[in-house]
Amino acid sequence: MVKEGHVEVMARSKRKTATMPAFYSRPRTFMNQNQLKQAVAQAALDWVLPHLNDASILGIGTGSTANFFIDLLAAHKHHFAAAVASSNVSAERLRAHGIEVRDLNDVTEIGFYVDGADEADPQLALIKGGGAALTQEKIVAAVAQTFICIADQSKRVNVLGQFPLPVEVIPLARNYVARELVKLGGRPVYRAGVVTDNGCHILDVHDLKITDPQVLEMRINQIVGVVANGLFAARRADILLLGTDRGVQVSQRSDKAQ
């Protein structure tokens, strides 16, 4: 189950409940998309900060919303040990701020993973991979104890699939995988010119109406040549911080203790 709440208290109230952390200024004027992304990045930071200590490792996602989070995190770099990044570009940004980046193989525990999304459904299943970093994102999310997804309101949908589903494929298998995806009802489009951090290609699958994300995620993973697909349903977000005109909306899985 997912619990939802709008939080419209004044700036940084200290109010805390089992399901909702302290929250966030209610926007006084209409916010543009970047301001909404910044607001949810700040909300994620406020959520995470009280849990950090000098041994903490943070998982960091990829994309413009994750970038806002990285930039805000920089001021607190002495409050945690290091980060694990889900892409080379995020690793570079973290290092530019003087934040240590560790290889995931050198880390056994990640408390929080903070990342954006291309779509989020009411059960907190996601489509990710618009930035072509889906495989590493999935891996870091799998290791993390708590996955906090941060997104602006344009990402919220009832049924996933309006955003074309990214599928990372071994280059040699690209056309074979594309034919298999057509059999599943999709219209795969090769993201020409994009090579992932793993040296692979991306197919963006249009026209999917994803009513059962977990089943489709598994089904696509079974196609030989698929590295990973951008459905985050088996490992969905634990918390969604959504930037809306009414403030930061918090959705939290009630089956997941924080």
Which residues of this chain interact with ligand 5RP, rule CB under 6 A? 61-65, 115-118, 128-134, 137
Residue number, 1 or 136, with CB nearest to ligand 5RP:
136
- Give backbone dihedrals phi and psi of 177, rounded to 5 degrees, phi first: -60, -40
Give the integer Cα–Cα distance in Å for 188 and 107. 36
Q: Could you confirm whether 109 is annotated as catalytic?
A: no
Question: Given strand 119-120, what is the order of strands in its sheet?
Answer: 119-120, 126-127, 231-232
* H runs (alpha helix) in 7-163: 33-48, 64-73, 88-96, 134-143
CB of 227 to ligand 5RP, least distance (A): 13
The token pair that represents 93 in the structure block: 């940004």
Tokens representing 181? 């995806």
Nearest distance in Å: CB 85, ligand 5RP: 12
Q: At closest approach, how far in Å is the CB of 149 from ligand 5RP?
A: 8
User: Widest CA span of the chain, in angstroms?
Assistant: 54
**Strand pairing partners for 127?**
119, 231
Cβ at position 190, least distance to ligand 5RP in Å: 17
Tokens coding 39: 């607001």
Catalytic residue among 119, 137, 168, 180: 137
Q: Which residues contact 199 (CB under 8 A, 6 or more apart)?
A: 171
Q: Supply the residues annotated as catalytic.
A: 137
